[in-house]
Amino acid sequence: MRTGLSSTFVAAAHAQRTGEALVALVSIDHSDLGGPILRAGNYADVVSGGDTYTGVYLELQLPDDVEDNLPSARMTIGDPDLAITQAVRSLAGSAESMTVTFKLVLADSPDTVQGSAVTLYMRDATYDGTVVSCVLSVEDTDSEPYPCDAFTPANAPGLF
């Protein structure tokens, strides 16, 4: 997250009670979708940056800080129009995962993004009625070969 949070946001986040509503905006995307699926962790729709985020139930379980494991979070999100469920079904078996990005805003000023997270990848998605649960993780670059090229006599004859 960025460090330049407004004093109003910080005060609202740390207060036991506040009149400010902190809203998480969620964008779920994939290259095969017609456009991103936009949701807001709010009871009402939120318009931010000219885009309308549908207000839904949103629960986010942050990752544990376990050594030698990639961090992964769990997200449970309402899906009243079944758009996320249909995307999960249509993209089952795809080599490319759906991406999930978060933005934090105040309900009173939704065009001012208070913070955002890195792009996460949706994995192990399950759906039940109008609720979708999934694991969110960062890209696993540890399992990628390094260096990406093999140094063989055919492509690096000067080494042999």
pLDDT digits (tens, 9 = 90+) for 62-77: 777 777 777 788 999 9
pTM of the predicted model as reported, rounded to 2 decimal places: 0.78
pLDDT digits (tens, 9 = 90+) for 107-150: 989 998 988 877 899 988 999 989 999 999 887 555 556 666 77
CB 64 within 8 A of CB 72: no
What does DSSP assign to residue 4? Answer: -
Domain boundaries along the sequence of the chain: 7-159
The shares of helix, strand and coil residues in the chain, as percent rounded to the nearest 5, are 10, 40, 50
CB 110 within 8 A of CB 48: yes
Q: How far is CA 6 from CA 20, 49, 99, in A?
A: 12, 18, 27
User: What end-to-end distance do the CA atoms of the chain give, in Å?
Assistant: 47
The token pair at 53 is: 């985020």
What's the pLDDT score for residue 2? Answer: 47
Cα three-residue angle 73-1-69, rounded to 5 degrees? 35
What's the pLDDT score for residue 138? Answer: 82
What's the pLDDT score for residue 148? Answer: 65
What's the pLDDT score for residue 158? Answer: 80
